[in-house]
């Protein structure tokens, strides 16, 4: 923990860090594993994080749908 003290990683806070991860996963290539992991994190923390997880799930599901139509 001392290695990250005062760093942007620590200043952002845990929930905002998770939000950033959710956004990154929403922008990532389509993956069923990502969808499963995102679903497993819903309703654990707060509504703001859930909103971003739901966005990421929607993005992943659109990409998965598009990849199966090719």
Q: Does 69 or 30 have the greater pLDDT score?
A: 30
pLDDT in tens, 2-38: 787 888 778 889 999 999 999 999 999 999 999 999 9
- The reported pLDDT for the residue numbered 1 is 64
- The reported pLDDT for the residue numbered 7 is 82
Question: How many independent structural domains does the chain possess?
Answer: 1
How would DSSP label each residue in 9-69? HHHH-HHHHHHHHHHHHHHSPP-HHHHHHHHHHTTSS-HHHHHHHHHHHHHHHHHHHHHH-
- Domain carrying residue 60: 2-68
Statement: residue 44 has pLDDT above 90: yes
């Amino acid at each position: 923990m001392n290695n990250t003290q005062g760093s942007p990683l620590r200043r952002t806070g845990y929930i905002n860090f998770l939000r950033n991860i959710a956004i990154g996963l929403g922008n990532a290539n389509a993956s069923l594993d990502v969808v499963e992991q995102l679903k497993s994190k819903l309703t654990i923390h707060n509504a703001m994080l859930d909103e971003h997880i739901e966005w990421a799930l929607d993005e992943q599901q659109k990409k998965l749908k598009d990849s199966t139509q090719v």
